Amino acid sequence: MKTLNKVTRIAILMTLFSIMIAACTVEVKSAYPASYLEEVTISQLHEGYLSGKYTVTQIVEDYLSRIETIDKNGPKLNSIITVNPDALKIAKELDKELSEGKIRGPMHGIPVIIKDNIDTHDDMPTTAGAMILRNSIAPVDSRIVQLLREAGAVIIAKANLSEWANFRSNFSSSGWSGVGGQTKNPYFLDRNPCGSSSGSGVSVSANLCALAIGTETNGSIVCPSNNNGVVGFKPTVGLLSRTGIIPISFTQDTPGPMGRTVQDVAISLGVMAGPDSLDEKTLDPNAKFYTDYTQFLNLDGLKGKRIGKIKSLGRAHHRVDSLINAAAEYMRGAGAEVIELDFPYPGAASAASFQVMLFEFKDGLNKYFKSLGENAPVKSVAELIEFNKKDPVELRYFDQELLIMANEKGSLESKEYKEYLERMFKLTREEGIDKIMNENKLDAIISPTGSPAWKTDLINGDNGRISSSSYAAVSGYPNITLPMGFIDGLPVGISIFGRAWSEPVLLEIAYSYEQGTRHRKAPRFINN
């Protein structure tokens, strides 16, 4: 028998190595229940219901089993505050509708996790992660929850978050709340999930649901999407109703979907988008609502687009720079024209935005407490501050300086507030995104969403290196982020943002990029 040559021996060794890796991967996946749900899409679940392959009850049961095993017992991600005790009852009712031929649409029977600052009128409290609200039951569903339920979605749980959506302390650890404790990153458990929609990002990334809903004032959807390797869409303020969402800023707040694919996000966006008589931002005459955003998912969506790439976000990160440069090259290869932009974010806009948030937080939070009626545990921000001083949990790690600063502000009729608001919009819209896009004839702007996840630190707080969220957040314009690669096993996202009401073109670009690159990888819960 002839001795195998070197090339053949290497080929055999590589094959054996691949088999070993595959075996290890199977072993890791099989350690958790319902592995068939890993990376499943909304469309796949929907088709499974129609064909009889799945029942809603089965899917809900299996997601609840994954929550119990992965979130509570195994890696202990701590992304969930409360599980819906009525989830299986709702699932059975939806199965009955299916058996009768009643299909509500693509979200029929789809398990969804909701950030716990969004009202649900059921047996799940709406807490914002705060001890004062740990037993607070909302009097009615928020508008977006109402729309999701009408579309057949099953709200299976409420997600942990940075307390008060990360607007309480001078510094904090994203994903920590008094009620829920610290949420962990599913890629590396000692890393931070970012926030404030921490639990939403982690739960959808870890395949504990088909879709999650977050909220953003500045970075709270896109940053956890970046750190947890998922797709997050912060829409134009006014595309989705904020009624029944515990507020920070009337001007900047918006809910938005977080999913594993651009298509899943687009499907849910069509269910939630639309005017609401109780939210005047949704009554903008320039608003553009669609009931089906999947019509904009074009494989050739990059072809002919003119895209601006922001050169620098301040604190450089050369490995992130390499990823965004590779993304730009891919887009050029797919038919887009990508130009380099000098587009620094103005510090004066951040300063004005901060003051606007202080004014609006006090006003909005006092109104929210009033909406709880006689069951409200406190009636004002001032009473909340006093409660926190006496609570053994709330000030254990972080202060409440932002609550105190907000409480010192006047009304929204004050000259000071109106001047800050006007300055903020002028700098970010007229002299910001609108100006740079018009001058360069752009369809969209791209930048890294952020840097890789930092190690969680309850002593010194967050340590994110770069962020691009303020451009779209402060202007109130749309921003979609999706995975663009990994750095030592940690995901990094690309943000695509643009003019008000430009959701269709952003989806078109994002879908084309996603389908051509396929950067998303499921986490493996590594414990360093």
Decide: helix, strand or coil at residue 101.
coil
Of 173, 197, 220, 249, which is the active-site residue? Answer: 220
Q: Which two tokens stand for residue 307?
A: 């895209």
d(CA 277, CA 282): 8
Radius of gyration of the chain (CA): 23
Q: Are the C-beta atoms of 495 and 43 separated by less than 8 Å?
A: no
* Nearest by Cα to 442 from 293, 237, 304: 304
Of 79, 115, 197, 495, which is the active-site residue? Answer: 115
* Nearest by Cα to 524 from 19, 18, 20, 24: 24
173 is catalytic: no
Residues 500, 505, 509, 511: is their CA dihedral positive or negative? Answer: positive
Residue 372 identity: L
Q: How many CB atoms lie within 10 A of CB 211?
A: 27
Strands 231-234, 479-487: pairing kind: antiparallel
Q: Which two tokens stand for residue 524?
A: 């493996």
d(CA 199, CA 184): 9
512 is catalytic: no
Q: Are the C-beta atoms of 364 and 279 separated by less than 8 Å?
A: no
Strands 306-310, 337-341: pairing kind: parallel
196 is catalytic: yes
d(CA 353, CA 248): 12
d(CA 420, CA 294): 38
DSSP string, 272-332: H-S-BTTBGGGG-TT----S-GGGG--TTTTTT-EEEEES--SS--HHHHHHHHHHHHHHH
DSSP string, 35-87: GGGTT--HHHHHHHHHHTS--HHHHHHHHHHHIIIIIIISS----EEEE-TTH
Residue 136 identity: S
Of 142, 173, 177, 196, which is the active-site residue? Answer: 196
d(CA 178, CA 431): 40
Catalytic residues: 115, 196, 220
